Amino acid sequence: MVVELNNIDKDILDALASVPDPEIPVINVIDLGVVRQVKKVNKQVFIDLTPTYTGCPAMDMMSVDIKKAIDALGYETFVKLVIKPAWSTDWISEEGRRKMEEYGIAPPLEENLDKRVLLDGESLVSCTHCQSTNTKMISQFGSTACKALFKCHDCLEPFDYFKCLK
Amino acid sequence: MNDKLYKYLLMLGDNSMILGHRLSELCGHGPSLETDIALTNISLDLFGQVRNIFQYAAKLKGANTTEDSIAFLRTARQHHNCILLEQPNTDFAHVIIRQYLFDAFQKLQLENLCESADDQIAAIAAKSLKETNYHVRFSAEWCKRLGAGTSESNQKMQEALNHLYPFSFEFFEQNEIESEMYSKGIGPDLNRLKDIYFSQVKTLLSTAELNIPDSPARHTKGKSGIHSEYLGYILSDFQYMQRVYPNMQW
Ligand SMILES: [Zn+2]
């Protein structure tokens, strides 16, 4: 996802990149693709943020954290939640997907493969511990709405899978 | 016009809010850890969708109206949800049947609302639909698993279906406001959705080895604010904090 930037200095981008997703702390809000637009007008910064899931309790926290991080640079920050166009897992950056996997959450598959896994129970998701695809979905809803719970038949460990959302 | 649109938004939002509350009652009480987490995640999605709708409604209403005042400060008669959604969590079969009957309707409704002439409703619908697709997968899957499961699970599902199915007709009893929204291109034609809905539901139920009950449709008037006894109890729980500590915040 390309973030629309207007008149933005590197220090503001760095501040944004320092704000983690509170539920997947290795990923920042830029990696997650939830920052849609950043605009600076004199000493004011306006940010459009888009929710991953409508009820995601992490969104309010991200808004507050973003405001704090940019206010600390001497700006007055306004964060607005926008819902159109709706967030898609395609907006998670390559970097974000890599960090997610290292953290123990399998990144989302392409939509058609995701459907085959979630609807037909096919084994296509790689285990984050041993990379085996001999895996099975245990529950369509995991620890948060965005994830499903899986287990690996080879190393026998459970892991999370970030569901494709398009 | 704004007044009618406001009421229409309450109709859309109250279904999700009341069902969201019913599902939240299951937090920590689900039949297994996985289903407990799934149902409360669905509840969270529903509340997220309601927040979007009520934020928009509050903007239309103006003055001191907020999403919270809409959610927490209305009386039972000012709620416009269908009666199905306030039915209790009798057992897991009732929870799943209620969920499926709603999810199948909600998916159809949202697909249509994505094309709404009202941009804000269309945006909310597009966002909510992505989540609802997961909900209906979950509830349909459980209908099949339990309906076509053991004779005991089949029997419990059939009892739940016999009880709840007649309530599903209310979704399609198009009232004055819904007719007007349809004529303005804002809302769907519920008469048209009705046929699609019941044909989808019948297909699923037959895969789930469940019989369509021959009990007649219940002509309930939840959308007009006439509710079952259950709603009062739901609201006394749901609104408790705001009533006891007005304007409290987390
Ligand atoms: Zn493994």
Check B128 against A166: CB less than 8 A apart. Answer: no
**Token duo for residue B146:** 């339990």
For B79, phi then psi, to 5°, come to -100, 145
Domain encompassing residue A134: 104-162
Q: Which residue of A has its CA nearest to B41?
A: A145
For an interface test with A, give the residue of B33, B37, B142 to mutate (most A CBs within 10 A): B37
Per the domain annotation, does A2 fall within a domain?
Answer: no
**Among A69-83, A136-150, B42-56, B221-235, which stretch is predicted with the lowest mean pLDDT?**
A136-150
Give the span between the Cα atoms of A128 and A101, in whole angstroms.
Answer: 6
Q: Chain A to chain B, count of Cβ pairs less than 8 Å apart?
A: 69
Check B134 against A144: CB less than 8 A apart. Answer: no
> What is the CATH classification number for the domain harbouring A82?
3.30.300.130
Per the domain annotation, does A98 fall within a domain?
Answer: no
Amino acid identity for residue A123 in this structure: S
Question: Are both A77 and A110 inside the same structural domain?
Answer: no
- Structural domain count of chain A: 2
Question: Are both A20 and A85 inside the same structural domain?
Answer: yes
Question: Are both A75 and A134 inside the same structural domain?
Answer: no
Burial of B161 (0-12, 13-18, 19+ CB in 10 A): buried
Check B52 against A54: CB less than 8 A apart. Answer: yes
In the prediction, which pLDDT does A58 show?
86
Which residues on adjacent β-strands are paired with residue A21?
Answer: A24
- In chain B the domains, ranked by start, together with CATH numbers, are 2-211+221-244 (1.20.1260.10)
Check B44 against A53: CB less than 8 A apart. Answer: yes
B127: which chain A residues are within 8 Å (Cβ-Cβ)? 51, 54, 83-84, 86-87
**Mean pLDDT across B171-190:** 96
Of the three residues A65, A90, A115, the one that is the final residue of a domain is: A90
Question: Are both A31 and A83 inside the same structural domain?
Answer: yes
- Closest to A48 (Cα-Cα) out of A73, A29, A31: A29
Question: Are both A74 and A126 inside the same structural domain?
Answer: no
B52: which chain A residues are within 8 Å (Cβ-Cβ)? 54, 83
- 8 A C-beta contact, residue A56 and residue B48: yes
* Residue B103: its H or E element: helix B92-113
A118: which chain B residues are within 8 Å (Cβ-Cβ)? 137
pLDDT in tens, B122-168: 999 999 999 999 999 999 999 999 999 999 999 999 999 999 999 99
- 8 A C-beta contact, residue A147 and residue A108: no
Give the span between the Cα atoms of A24 and A26, in whole angstroms.
Answer: 6
- How many residues does the structure list for chain B? 250
